[in-house]
Structure formats: structure tokens, C-alpha cells
Chain A
Amino acid sequence: MKARLRAAAAALILGGLFVGLLAGVRDLPPIGDPSSPASTHVSPRFIEEARRETGALNMVTAVLADYRGYDTLGETAVIFAAGLGAFVILAASIGGPRRETPGPGLSHRVDSLLLDTAARVLAPFLLLFAVYVLVHGHVSPGGGFQGGVLFGLGLVTLRLVWGPPRPDRAASRFGPGVRASFLLASAGLLAYIAIGIAAMAFGGAFLDYGVLPLGQDPAHVRELATLGVEAAVFVAVSGTVAVLFETIAVGVAETGRPLPNEDPAPVEAREEG
């Protein structure tokens, strides 16, 4: 009865929220309306001034990381929260029944020459390209988010082939693991906030990069600060990608310990020998 009451309350609150949001949408101008305020004031301003004000050739980067830096901070926080949510939910259910043995490559090392060689060739280029996407985001498509995902995928590639970090296998001890990934993700998010607060310390508004004492030309200063912000997003996103992979593919209790249904025989054998 109590559970049903709670479900009814949740349905009522969510339904009310939905109706309220729908009512709010009615007041918005139609999508793509050329006479809407966004199209007559905001967009022309970005298109005409972005190059001069922020020094970025890629206007998308100028909008995402500079003009709308606050939005991007929120998005980074949401991504971090997604990683945290996956971790918390899977940590709560880790004691539950596991219907199928985790496949090779997810719980332990695969001894395949093909996979090993492919990963050795692919992963370095993936990691390097991720950094290129980050630092080149000013002038070409890309930026911290895409670069961060690519870097995380590079780590996941190595991790898929070389197995999880385990104390009994020095050779396959690769990959940051859940704890270090969370540290990375938090560090990125905190660095973003720190850049915003630094702007406040120098007399500007939150995330108002122009006031930072990084040079004479304000456009150049904003360019540098944008790169800093993108780097923070890069670290946060690649950490979150690693967290998501570790928790979903390998399990929360994995770090340094074999999975419950994995045969721990090799460890004992080595200790005896």
C-alpha cells in the first residue's frame, strides 16, 4: 500500500512536471523561426564577433567553451553524474545473481595474437589523435569532449585486450581502474570550476575568461582559457568513459581481485611454486 502510494505520488509529480514543461514549450518561438530573438540577436552576434573576440576559427568551440561555458560546465557535471550513477547502481547490485560467465576480454586477458597486435597498432594512434582533437578544437571540428571520448576509448581498447589490473599479473596490469578513473573525472570537473573561480578572483564574472592575466590581447587570453577548459573537459570525459567501462564491463569489486566466478587457481599455483 505504501509502495503504491509512493508510486502514485511520483507519477503525479512527474506528470505535473511534464504538463508544466509542455505548457512552457507553447511560449517558445517555433524551431528555426528567422524572426525569433535567438536568430535576430544572438546568432548574428556569435557569427560576426566570435573570431575577433575569442580567436577561435571553429565557431562551435567558441560558443561551447566560451560564450556558453556555463552550459558546458553543466554538461560535464551531468556526464560525471552519469558515471557516478552507473557506479552506485551496479555497486548496489554486485551481490546479485550473475546469469552468464563474463566473456573473455572483459574479465581476463585474451591470448590472441590478432587482438594483441591490432591493439598495439591502434591504441597509440587513438590516444595521440585524441590529444590532437583536443588541441586542434579551435580551428577544426572537435574539442575536449570528442577528444576525451576518444582517449577513453583508447584506454578501453588496451584494457579489452590486456585485461583488468590485477596484482598477480604484472604484464596485464594496465588501465586506470575504477578509483583512478574517478579521480581523473573529478579532477577534470574541479579544474573547470577552478578556471571559472579564477576569473572571479581577477574581477570578472564566473567563467569570464577575458580578465585572466595570461597576456595583453584579450582574444588570445580567451583562446588560452578556452583551451584550458577544453583540457578539463577532456580529462573529465575520458575519466568518466573509463569509469563506465570498468563498472559495466568488469564490475565494481574487480580492482585487484578476481571476479567471484573466476577460477583463482593460477594465483595459488604460483604461490606454491
Chain B
Amino acid sequence: MMLDPGGLIATGLLATMLVTGAVALLVNDLLVAAALFGVFSFAAAAWFAALGAVDVAFTEACVGGALTTILLVAATFRTTRRLDR
């Protein structure tokens, strides 16, 4: 069976999104969750770029990867870092 490299990359990126998203919801340290969401957005941006939607990938990298991560980190500084469940 021949493995298609493009398909492998896409699968890896989607798996990264799934894992980082799930772990971000489960961890109790909100700073870690914010960082994981940054990784999630970066994988999403790379996936959009792999699909040929470069403008969307650009936007996702700017907004999801950078801005949202900064705002989430700022929000943890202003509220609390530990999540008590």
C-alpha cells in the first residue's frame, strides 16, 4: 500500500487538532489550555494552507494562533490560572 504524503500530513494535522483540543478541555491549568489552543490554531492554519485556502490560513494564523492566544493568556492573568473541578 502506497502512503500519500499529502494525506499523511493532513491526517497528522487533523490528529493534532483533535488531541490538542481535547487536552485543552481536560487540563486544569488554564495557561496550558491557552497554549494548547495556540497549537490547535496553528495546526488548523497549516491544514487550511494544505487545502489551498491561503487567505483563510493567513487569517487563522493571525487571529487564532496569535490574537486569541494572547487574549486567553491575558484573561487567565486577570481571573485565575487554576480550574477547580
Q: Is the CB of A142 within 8 A of B74?
A: no
Contact-residue bracket for chain A: 20 to 34
Tell me if B63 and A149 are in contact (CB < 8 A): yes
The residue that B78 contacts in the complex, of A102, A133, A149, with Cβ under 8 A, is A102
SS of A interface (majority): helix
| A248, B78: Cβ atoms closer than 8 Å | yes
A156 to B59, CA, bound (A): 17
Contacts A60-B55, A143-B55, A145-B59; A249 near B77 (Cβ below 8 A): yes
Query: What does DSSP make chain B's interface, helix, strand, loop or mixed?
Result: helix
- Contact A106–B78 (Cβ < 8 Å): yes
Residue pair A245, B78 in contact (C-beta under 8 Å): no
Cα–Cα distance between A150 and B58 once the two chains are bound (Å)? 10
Chain B residues with Cβ below 8 Å from A99 are 79-80
Interface residue ranges of B44-85 to A (CB < 8 Å)? 54-55, 57-59, 62-63, 66-67, 70-71, 74-75, 77-81
Question: Would A248 and B74 count as touching, CB distance under 8 A?
Answer: yes
Q: Look across to chain B and name the residue whose beta carbon is closest to the beta carbon of A99.
A: B80
Alpha-carbon gap, A150 to B67, bound state (A): 9
- B78 and A241: CB pair below 8 A? no
Query: Restricting to A126-146, which residues have a CB under 8 Å from any CB of B?
Result: 133, 141-143, 145-146
Once the chains bind, are A100 and B77 in contact (CB under 8 Å)? yes
The chain A residues found within 8 Å of chain B, CB to CB, are: 58, 60, 98-100, 102-103, 106, 133, 141-143, 145-146, 149-150, 152-153, 156, 241, 244-245, 248-249, 251
